[in-house]
Amino acid sequence: MSRGPVTILVALVAPAVVAWACTDGGIVGGECLPGACGDGGGHPDGAADGAADGTADGALDASEDGDSDGASWDGSADRDGPDDDAGDGGPGDGGPGDGGDACTPPYVTASQCGDCFTQCVGATPLCSPGDGGHACVPLCDPPLVACNGQCVDLNNDPMHCGACNNQCPSGICQSGQCVGAVVGHLVTACMNYEQSFQNAPQTLLLGNAVFLPLADPVRILAYHQHTPANVRNRVNQTIGWAAQAKNRTFSLTTAATPAAVLSQLSILSFDVLLVYDQPNAPAGTLGPAGASWQTAVDQFSKAGGVVVALASDAGVNAMPALLSSAGILAVSAVNAHTGTLYNKAPADAVGVNVLSPFASLTRTCTLTASDAAGPTTVYVVGDAPGQGQGAPVVVHRIQAP
């Protein structure tokens, strides 16, 4: 069978126009001279394609580096792929736009804190959240400072007192200074000095206790919140008599609340904490007050401070709660006493030179104490002669660091 003539249509395609990305050279035969193209290669579309780009993707790159090499326009002159390392700020350059390269969100590490380029070093080595993002912060929040990789308080850390690695031999650091070179004292006297005389044994007892510190003047912090004015004034007068007899001086600062005591009690500021008898205290108030002092009293006495607490059976008889909760002396009760008193420890610093026996004065009482007499707990004055006999009236506890 014969067939008719076959017509062959030939489509003429206009030559492709290629825009060469040449910078400082010329074009020779359709190719960039070596070193002239913006992407450093000798081919129209650089080194990333590995070819003249005439066969792989149709030479035109019409789809912006399109179908054959699978790249998208990265904003550079060569329109290459994501790994062109051209430093043009787009994908493949390690910047935020890479989505999987060297720097990607979230920026929560010390090397990339808040953004790609912020590194936490030096005084602010940590990356911490805040204000809706992350920022570099110090290792420790003030007043803590970093010592050997730990956050410490230079004001009270005995291993880092005032400076890193400054260790206190006594184990006591207060306000950035090592303290505690001498022993402290806790003296409880069940007599409130509502009645006193200049040359009485009771005056010598109080003077021996208040002037245990070697400082001159002796700095006294006195708590008086629930103390009648006449009792407070009489105690102060008795201390004045004792100071005159010993040729000593003192200064007295009053504290009207437990919080005022707590905020001021430091061996760097005071030598003695004086607690007047508190007969006007409402029931249930002195126990919590003493509990709030416990740590401060312990640190103060271990640093060489002296605590002198006076008591009586007046009022609601609340002083045992304060004495016990503050750690001054474990006392369950006080009991009114009239008659004769005995110096049971004439060699003790509080009992030295106090005659025996002597008569009790107004508001004298005995203590029901849990702390047994021993080397560091001395029953100085009692209602019967001899150690181990009767009930104590004056107790002296020695507090070593």
CATH number at residue 266: 3.40.50
Check whether residue 252 and residue 341 sit in a common domain. yes
- Dist. CA 252–CA 254, nearest whole Å: 7
Check whether residue 62 and residue 157 sit in a common domain. no
39-78 CB burial, b ≥16 within 10 A, e <16: bebebbbbebbeebbbeebeeebeeebbeebebeebebeb
Closest to 127 in 3D by CA, of 116, 115, 135: 135
Contact 208, 352 (CB under 8 A): yes
- Dist. CA 386–CA 224, nearest whole Å: 34
DSSP conformational letter for 301: H
Check whether residue 87 and residue 27 sit in a common domain. yes
Question: Which residue would you say has higher pLDDT here, 228 or 375?
Answer: 228
Check whether residue 194 and residue 240 sit in a common domain. yes
Check whether residue 159 and residue 189 sit in a common domain. no
The Cα-based distances of 1 to 4, 6, 7 in angstroms read 10, 15, 18
Closest to 220 in 3D by CA, of 229, 228, 211: 211
Check whether residue 148 and residue 202 sit in a common domain. no
- The pLDDT of residue 190 is 98
E-assigned strand segments in 90-174:
108-109, 112-113, 126-130, 133-137, 145-147, 150-152, 172-174
Check whether residue 214 and residue 268 sit in a common domain. yes
Over residues 307-331, the pLDDT tens digits come to 999 999 998 889 999 999 999 999 9
Check whether residue 26 and residue 122 sit in a common domain. no
Question: Token digits for 374?
Answer: 């021993």
- How many structural domains comprise the chain? 4
Check whether residue 171 and residue 40 sit in a common domain. no
Check whether residue 263 and residue 386 sit in a common domain. yes
Question: Which residue would you say has higher pLDDT here, 41 or 118?
Answer: 118
**Would you say residue 154 lies in a domain?**
yes
> DSSP H helical segments within 198-285, as ranges?
201-210, 229-246, 258-264
Check whether residue 147 and residue 189 sit in a common domain. no
**Would you say residue 3 lies in a domain?**
no
Segment among 182-186, 246-250, 285-289 with least mean pLDDT:
182-186
Question: Which residue would you say has higher pLDDT here, 299 or 208?
Answer: 208
pTM exceeding the 0.85 threshold for the entire prediction: no
Range of the domain at 71: 19-97
Identity of the amino acid at 316: V
Question: Which residue would you say has higher pLDDT here, 179 or 367?
Answer: 367
- The pLDDT of residue 180 is 66
Check whether residue 85 and residue 165 sit in a common domain. no
Closest to 351 in 3D by CA, of 327, 373, 329: 373
The Cα-based distances of 329 to 173, 267, 333 in angstroms read 24, 20, 11
CA angle 257, 397, 211 (to 5 degrees): 70
Question: Token digits for 302?
Answer: 């271990």
